[in-house]
């Protein structure tokens, strides 16, 4: 049996009075790419945003239940949000590099978390080269590390948003429709990148694009109205869906 990265038990979430997640219990395996699919408003992004507790920015969110990441319940009172978010990185729907240079975007995490001795120029340089090489941007950008990140192409921006997570050595990377702002080539490039990162990081990807879920993920979670309907290997889910609701969705009868 494989190691588990994230397990949730009886997770419920309300936006004010509206219940967005119902009794969600899932087990996400370590090192795999797991995709979350389902029609709009089914709670897949909400679930994703629970894993780094970023949805708590809005004061009207209440959560019950348990999420264990690396064996620790992230809703325990002694959990440090800073540490949690260091080990659970997030990539957003629209590429959102910070309004800084390429270099500063990559070392941002180190700057806000690092001890002083870790912030020597040589170490930062090394981290930048390593992270950008890992996402395949180093050759393109090594001579323009000082340019503003917002001037890059969207695909490069999105890769940069992945690269800036890596110096923090995250356990989990959450991706919220990371390709929806990109064209076909950009989408392919990001998918290939995710593939190359597989094994080292546990990745969860929310997607509207069923073909993408099929191409890019090992396991697939189908959600409907805040509940998990089915969670199986991607291949099995698409070829032999167990639940009639899944079958109808992947055949395109709704959603």
Partner 1 sequence: MNSGAMPQEPAEGWAVRRARRGLWALAGERLLEGLIYLCGISAIVFVLGIFFFVFREAFPVLGKENFSLTQFLFSEQWYPTSATNKRYGVLAMIAGTLSVTALAMVLAVPFGLGAAIYISEFCGSRVKETLKIVIELLAAIPSVVWGFVGLTVMSRLIVQYTGAPVGVNILNGGIILALMSVPIIVSIGEDALKAVPDQYREAGIALGATRWQLVWRVLLPAAKTGLLAAVLLGVGRAVGETMAVLMATGHAVHIPHSLLDSVRTLTANIAAELGEAPEGSDHYRVLFLTGVLLFTLTFIVNLTADFIVRGIRKK
Q: Which residues bind partner 1 (CB under 8 A)?
A: 52, 54, 57, 81-86, 89-90, 92, 94, 96-100, 108-109, 111-113, 148, 161, 164-165, 168
Our CB check for partner 1 shows the closer of 25 and 153 to be: 153
We find the least distance from the C-beta atom of residue 253 to partner 1, in angstroms, to be: 34
Our CB check for partner 1 shows the closer of 52 and 234 to be: 52
Q: 3-state class of 75 per DSSP?
A: coil
We find the least distance from the C-beta atom of residue 58 to partner 1, in angstroms, to be: 11
Our CB check for partner 1 shows the closer of 14 and 92 to be: 92
Dist. CA 247–CA 234, nearest whole Å: 13
We find the least distance from the C-beta atom of residue 113 to partner 1, in angstroms, to be: 6
Burial 59-78 (b: 16+ CB within 10 A, else e): eebebebebbbbeebbeeee
* Residue 57: partners with Cβ closer than 8 Å, 6 or more residues away: none
We find the least distance from the C-beta atom of residue 112 to partner 1, in angstroms, to be: 5
- What ranges make up the beta strands (E) of 102-248? 172-176, 202-206, 219-224, 227-233
We find the least distance from the C-beta atom of residue 99 to partner 1, in angstroms, to be: 4
CA angle centred on 134, ends 133 and 135, rounded to 5°:
90
Our CB check for partner 1 shows the closer of 28 and 168 to be: 168
Q: How many residues does the chain have?
A: 255
Dist. CA 95–CA 162, nearest whole Å: 10
Our CB check for partner 1 shows the closer of 109 and 226 to be: 109
């Amino acid at each position: 049996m494989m190691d588990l990265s994230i397990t949730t038990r009886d997770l419920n979430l309300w936006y004010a009075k509206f219940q967005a997640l119902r009794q969600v219990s899932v087990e996400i395996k370590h090192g795999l790419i797991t995709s979350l699919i389902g029609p709009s408003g089914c709670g897949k992004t909400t679930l994703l945003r629970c894993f780094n507790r970023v949805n708590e920015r809005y004061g009207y969110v209440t959560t019950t239940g348990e999420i264990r990441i690396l064996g620790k319940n992230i809703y325990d009172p002694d959990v440090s949000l800073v540490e949690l978010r260091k080990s659970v990185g997030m990539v957003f729907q629209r590429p959102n590099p910070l309004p800084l240079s390429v270099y500063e975007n990559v070392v941002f995490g180190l700057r806000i978390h690092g001890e002083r001795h870790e912030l020597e120029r040589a170490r930062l340089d090394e981290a930048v080269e390593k992270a950008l090489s890992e996402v395949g941007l180093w050759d393109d950008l090594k001579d323009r590390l000082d340019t503003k990140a917002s001037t890059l192409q969207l695909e490069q921006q999105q890769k940069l948003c992945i690269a800036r997570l890596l110096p923090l050595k995250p356990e989990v990377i959450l991706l919220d429709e990371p390709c929806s702002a990109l064209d076909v080539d950009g989408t392919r490039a990001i998918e290939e990148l995710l593939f190359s990162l597989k094994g080292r990081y546990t990745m969860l990807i929310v997607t509207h694009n069923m073909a993408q879920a099929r191409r890019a993920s090992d396991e697939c979670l189908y959600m409907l109205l805040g509940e998990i309907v089915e969670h199986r290997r991607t291949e099995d889910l698409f070829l032999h869906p167990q639940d009639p609701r899944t079958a109808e969705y992947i055949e395109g009868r709704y959603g």
